[in-house]
């Protein structure tokens, strides 16, 4: 008889949700994480009374009422709505592209005028069969929006000129002929009051958690403790990279405390010109309307400049590169995983896929149903 039914590697959302479900089902669970804190990449830390999103800004949004009701047990969500602003050489535009954007860009007032302008620019460009991202963008939204709002940002994100990027990256672009700045089309949206870390701590209440423990360094000993393992680390790392590295796109953050109340008046400002080296600036306090939990205004502010970066082995993995090469390498690792009947691979790193938070929670709930209701 093993000491635990499940050893869960990783205290991110996938691991925490599975652990919570397993504990509720009466299973004996141990969660470990190599980091000194829980919450994985949704970790928020308090600086000057502000919840700072250390691994990148996280906005919870979902259409899945099961997931929304589930997370609601562990946090109250505020009414934050993501409405980013684009800064092109000091000209500010609303995102996603909508009537406010078109009015600022061309002075048009009605949806019909905006549609006509976009149609005119598309016609003028004369692109019938887009061969790269630049042509695809122009054929979808015309030249002005491409030049001012898409080109620089995309080139910084991918580290390559738009005419050398494949067209499929932007099959569609969100264009709204309404005055609606809400970036997400989700039914539910918000930020957990008190931060994501507290929400995850609430999920893990009553669960044994050991931090600063690397599974791969103590594999034999830890395997001996549990009947099954839920592993949410990187699948290639699990197998000692024996088939090669799965690649990621990385982000570098430069975080600064400023001795002023308001830096940019919005949580997210995208820098869409080519010259500014960062892609975005996040001002974390605006995720919570600039106030602490008692409703007091916060005197200082914390900003993070985001730089898109090439990833090299050893860097923090952020966005999986789902091209042919990496997808087929991942498939080979999946084959190896079949020889590990005790181990369930889950989460963004275990499955090498980009998961939004609601999707990763949904996937962990599904796994829990399969595993625990047998
Ligand atoms: P993680 O959070 O990465 O957790 C995995 C954990 O496993 C980590 O804590 C790690 O330390 C631990 N671990 C790994 N290997 C080992 C080991 N060998 N031993 C012990 N522990 C180990 N989603 C949204 O819905 N909205 C957003 O606005 C949003 N913004 C994002 C911004 C960025 C920059 C990125 C990259 C993602 C964003 N996401 C967003 C997605 C979100 O971050 C993920 O859905 C979520 O973090 C995935 O959780 P996870 O548990 O799978 O992985």
Does the active-site annotation cover 356?
A: yes
The better pLDDT of the pair 196, 321 is held by 196
Query: Mean pLDDT, to the nearest integer, of 345-370?
Result: 97
pLDDT category, 29, cuts 50, 70, 90?
very high
Q: Are 181 and 104 in contact (CB under 8 A)?
A: no
Does the active-site annotation cover 172?
A: yes
Query: Mean pLDDT, to the nearest integer, of 201-223?
Result: 97
Which residue out of 306, 330, 352, 358 is catalytically annotated? 306
Among 170, 202, 221, identify where a domain stops.
170
pLDDT category, 240, cuts 50, 70, 90?
very high
Is residue 294 one of the residues assigned to a domain?
no
- 247 token code pair: 């690649």
Residue to substitute in 182, 239, 346, 357 for testing ligand 1 pocket (most ligand atoms within 8 angstroms of CB): 357
pLDDT category, 141, cuts 50, 70, 90?
very high
**Strand ranges in 17-164 using DSSP code E only, listed in sequence order:** 29-33, 44-47, 50-53, 60-62, 85-88, 91-94
Same structural domain, 105 and 160: yes
Residues 55, 40: Cα–Cα separation, whole Å: 9
Is residue 207 one of the residues assigned to a domain?
yes
Distance from first CA to last CA of the chain, Å, rounded? 19
Is residue 258 one of the residues assigned to a domain?
no
pLDDT at 173: 83
Query: How remote is the CA of residue 347 from the centroid of ligand 1, in Å?
Result: 8
pLDDT category, 172, cuts 50, 70, 90?
confident
User: Which atom, in ligand 1's list, is nearest to the CA of 251?
Assistant: 34
Is residue 278 one of the residues assigned to a domain?
no
Domain extent at residue 132: 96-170
Same structural domain, 74 and 211: yes
Same structural domain, 241 and 329: yes
Does the active-site annotation cover 334?
A: no
Same structural domain, 123 and 226: no
Which residue out of 113, 144, 316, 356 is catalytically annotated? 356
CATH number of the domain residue 345 falls in: 3.40.50.720
Among 170, 197, 222, identify where a domain stops.
170
Same structural domain, 165 and 25: no
Whether a cis peptide bond, with omega within 30° of 0, leads into 96 is yes
Percent of the chain with pLDDT over 90: 91
Closest residue CA from atom 29 of ligand 1: 58
Same structural domain, 25 and 158: no
Same structural domain, 23 and 166: no
pLDDT at 169: 85
Among 108, 140, 170, identify where a domain stops.
170
Query: Mean pLDDT, to the nearest integer, of 150-177?
Result: 91
Same structural domain, 68 and 138: no
Ligand 1 close to Cβ of residue 142 (< 6 A): no
Is residue 164 one of the residues assigned to a domain?
yes
Q: How many domains does the chain have?
A: 2
Query: Mean pLDDT, to the nearest integer, of 239-257?
Result: 95
Same structural domain, 205 and 329: yes
Same structural domain, 78 and 115: no
pLDDT of 323 above 80: yes
Is residue 196 one of the residues assigned to a domain?
yes
Query: Mean pLDDT, to the nearest integer, of 354-366?
Result: 97
pLDDT at 42: 98
The ipTM, to two decimals, is: 0.99
Does the active-site annotation cover 210?
A: no
- Structure letter (DSSP) for residue 178: S
Same structural domain, 20 and 70: yes
Is residue 231 one of the residues assigned to a domain?
yes
Same structural domain, 231 and 356: yes
- 64 token code pair: 């899945």
Query: Mean pLDDT, to the nearest integer, of 289-294?
Result: 94
Query: Mean pLDDT, to the nearest integer, of 15-38?
Result: 98
pLDDT category, 374, cuts 50, 70, 90?
low
Is residue 287 one of the residues assigned to a domain?
no
Ligand 1 close to Cβ of residue 56 (< 6 A): yes
pLDDT of 312 above 90: no
Average pLDDT over the chain reads: 96
Query: How remote is the CA of residue 348 from the centroid of ligand 1, in Å?
Result: 6
- Enclosing H/E stretch for 369: helix 357-372
Residue to substitute in 8, 36, 53, 348 for testing ligand 1 pocket (most ligand atoms within 8 angstroms of CB): 348
């Amino acid at each position: 008889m093993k000491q635990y039914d499940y050893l869960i590697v990783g205290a991110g959302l996938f691991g925490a949700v599975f652990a919570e479900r397993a504990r509720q089902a009466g299973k004996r669970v141990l969660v470990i994480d190599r980091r000194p804190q829980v919450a994985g990449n949704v970790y928020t830390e308090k600086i000057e009374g502000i919840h700072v999103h250390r691994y990148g800004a996280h906005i919870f949004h979902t259409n899945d009422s099961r997931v929304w009701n589930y997370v609601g047990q562990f946090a109250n969500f505020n009414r934050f709505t993501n409405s980013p602003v684009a800064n092109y050489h000091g000209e500010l535009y609303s995102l996603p592209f909508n009537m406010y954007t078109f009015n600022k860009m061309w002075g048009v007032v009605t949806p019909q005028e905006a549609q006509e302008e976009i149609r005119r620019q598309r016609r003028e460009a004369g692109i019938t069969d887009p061969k790269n991202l630049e042509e695809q963008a122009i054929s979808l939204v015309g030249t002005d929006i491409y030049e001012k709002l898409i080109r620089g940002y995309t080139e910084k994100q991918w580290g390559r000129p738009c005419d050398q990027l494949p067209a499929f990256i932007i099959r569609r672009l969100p264009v709204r002929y309404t005055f609606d700045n809400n970036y997400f089309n989700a039914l539910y949206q918000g930020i957990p009051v008190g931060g994501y870390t507290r929400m995850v701590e609430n999920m893990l209440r009553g669960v044994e958690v050991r931090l600063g423990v690397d599974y791969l360094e103590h594999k034999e000993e830890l395997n001996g403790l549990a009947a099954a393992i839920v592993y949410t680390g990187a699948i290639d790392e699990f197998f000692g990279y024996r088939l090669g590295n799965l690649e990621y796109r990385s982000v570098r953050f430069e975080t600064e405390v400023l001795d002023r109340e308001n830096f940019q008046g919005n949580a997210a400002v995208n820098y869409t010109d080519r010259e500014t080296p960062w892609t975005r600036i996040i001002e974390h306090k605006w995720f919570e309307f600039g106030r602490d939990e008692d409703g007091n205004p916060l005197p200082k502010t914390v900003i993070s400049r985001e730089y898109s970066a090439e990833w090299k082995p050893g860097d923090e993995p952020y966005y999986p590169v789902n091209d042919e090469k990496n997808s087929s390498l991942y498939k080979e690792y999946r084959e190896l995983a079949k020889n590990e009947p005790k181990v369930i691979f889950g989460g963004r790193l275990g499955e090498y896929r980009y998961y939004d938070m609601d999707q990763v929670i949904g996937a962990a709930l599904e796994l829990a149903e399969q595993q625990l209701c047998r």
